[in-house]
Structure 1
């Protein structure tokens, strides 16, 4: 009996070691890629501190331009994910990184609103498919019960981008301002786009299109992963694309996720502005203070992902983090001129909102598999990310109209409460897997 227990323990350790080896190979690299991707997406929030006055752009112009990223993203995300599923992640992820880097660097030439709109739209097209592509890629390597934690580690790229990127962006703007006659924000866009090229080359060398190609694993380890993924996919549904669009479960996930994305990009595009308006001064100081909410969020994301996997529970974890996001945003308005309290409030908001996605993605991948999962992930992410278009435009319009973003943040916080209630309405037998 004791020998059997020791044998079972040894096998479990070997299985855990196998998945740890896979995670150590892919997750740190993918997280770094996401740091660069997210930074190129949201560094417009730091640039805004000087760019609007330099170019004479209104808050509404900024909000529309920031949000147009998500229209391009919306239009090309599903095709991008289906292409990746067919040709493999290695080349496709490398292609995505190169194109988004080039377009982000072209922001140096923006002088007119229409140029700003066009580049933000095409940046969305270029980046479409990276995030959902990685979510799909993880389904090739990890069964659903292990996916919450690894997805959280990958998505730690969001808060890491804030921790590193906000101070870095502020420093670049302050240090390079007027170098060779260019503004600091222009240099920031170019310098932060450069890492995409070496990362694309590494992707071609490091990533595998499938488990069978992973020669760095033993035959037994490859067979283990293939067997567990096959078992994981055994009871999953495979639907034609039109049926995915008509699936009520998919639309329920979209409706739950839309407010979370609106909240996420409220932080991404307006965190520096909210901290400046609370009394912080100077691009570097604002960037350093912006890092605090993201530091809190990275701890929260990992702890929440681990807790959800250990307890095999999704609904309450989702509801709690969404309510945290709503409360944090409301407190940031109520303490609007108290810098310390605003940073604390925004830390609560970031901890909740940024912890949402890793848990959310365990739901659709629990009942869909194969190319159906690829298409569904693309549909959910593209439509839900339109929240990233709505929130900056809403905040920009309301700020120009009422000279304060307060009412827009109330609307976004209320939508997060509705999202939390929707999370609790899922059948626990279907999502807690």
Structure 2
């Protein structure tokens, strides 16, 4: 294998051999990880679409109950994020991810048994418990394979699961509900949970059979290819200033990252859970039409994420590649909040907001892997994700209560705008905090 050097856009040397190895790794890892995360995201957001039909069959599921139940998933999830990642670091990704996917697939399918408020809450909590650790676990897993300088582009592919899952959660969910309603005595939304939940069980077994815990254990890499990966990862480790989780918890930067991520997640989940309802409020009554319209902003998001993440890696710049999209997302949600009576303008604004907030989300995750190593990466990534994922509880809960109190989603959307500005402020402060810590560590 040729090891001829060539110059990267950032001025650093890489090798033709390294490029070849990482193309091979990309083909092996990313399609399976993308597929797994697509179904994970689908199982989070399909509840927002099923809501329109569940409330007709189960009157107890009011707007406030729906908001709390949707958020309880994230509360349960957040409580077990760090323990799950610590366990994965000890026993390996294959055991951890396989266990997570099989159990969450079964619990997601079991949503078809919801009959009242209590069963709705219980199953959402179980889904959160069983899926806990999946997202930070996969991010940690990627740090075992990719150096920090490649992470934005890699996350740009892996995170496509969000918009893809949202497309499936709208268009495909609408088609399933419409085609299966009253089939075999079950409502369409019950079939939807069953059909979209069971594939996760199969994917759990696929992960077990096809993935390796570390590059050194990958039978499909030659010894020389493993050395190339080890060298690339070693460069990242040499630049990481924090290696113990207890030290990471003492750093202001980890809390600044968590605050930034929290606001971004609030923006994402506010739209994910409530877009079908917002469309219905704007006069779109047909279920299939709502599904198709909901898919449009996420289809537009896919090229946006790829372009922004590749640009971030090309210029090795993270700060403004995250801040500018966050600002655009805040502007989009603001316009949408004040133009609810103008469907076209409001919908275009929501499309812009969705594209922008997902782009900020993608670039954000290139930062922690560059800064944290060892158990600091294990616990630090999980801690940041834990705080951020609480946005999945806060956003739908606020939106639910505001809508029930006012009959409108405007106040809820404007609250999400405020939280996005918290993210922007944190992203502005983060580089200085990281520099200060590195200077202290070097001293």
Write the mapping of 1:230-309 to structure 2, written as runs, cut at 5 A.
Answer: 230-309=234-313
Q: Do structure 1's residue 371 and structure 2's residue 375 form an aligned pair?
A: yes
Q: Do structure 1's residue 17 and structure 2's residue 14 form an aligned pair?
A: no
Choose from 129, 142, 146 the match for 1:142: 146
1:346-372 Cα distance to aligned partner (Å, 9 max, x none): 111111111122211122211211222
TM-score by length of 2: 0.93
Choose from 61, 68, 81 the match for 2:65: 61
Residues 246/147 of structure 1: CA separation in 2 closer, same or farther (3 Å cut): same
- SS of equivalent to 2:317: coil
Post-superposition offset of 1:240: 4.1
- SS of equivalent to 1:223: helix
Post-superposition offset of 1:430: 4.6
Aligned counterpart, 2:137: 133
Aligned counterpart, 1:348: 352
Distance, in Å, in 2 between the alignment partners of 1:95 and 1:375 is 20
Post-superposition offset of 1:238: 4.3
Aligned counterpart, 1:33: 36
1:186-217 Cα distance to aligned partner (Å, 9 max, x none): 11111101111221111011111111111212
Contact 1:280 1:339 survives alignment (8 Å): no
Distance, in Å, in 2 between the alignment partners of 1:276 and 1:264 is 19
Distance, in Å, in 1 between the alignment partners of 2:349 and 2:190 is 31
Aligned counterpart, 2:87: 83
Contact 1:324 1:351 survives alignment (8 Å): no
Unaligned runs of 5+ in 2: 8-13, 439-443
Aligned counterpart, 1:391: 395
1:64-115 Cα distance to aligned partner (Å, 9 max, x none): 0000001111111101111111111112111111011111111111111111
With 102-111 and 270-279 compared, the bigger mean Cα shift is at 270-279
Contact 2:65 2:117 survives alignment (8 Å): yes
Aligned counterpart, 1:156: 160
Unaligned runs of 5+ in 1: none
Post-superposition offset of 1:118: 1.1
Contact 2:103 2:201 survives alignment (8 Å): no
Contact 1:278 1:342 survives alignment (8 Å): no
Distance, in Å, in 1 between the alignment partners of 2:27 and 2:433 is 31
What is the number of residues matched between the two proteins? 428
Contact 2:256 2:429 survives alignment (8 Å): no
Choose from 4, 8, 11 the match for 2:5: 8
- SS of equivalent to 1:209: coil
Q: Do structure 1's residue 108 and structure 2's residue 105 form an aligned pair?
A: no
Aligned counterpart, 1:314: 318
Post-superposition offset of 1:23: 0.9
Aligned counterpart, 2:441: none
- SS of equivalent to 1:215: coil
Distance, in Å, in 2 between the alignment partners of 1:82 and 1:332 is 41
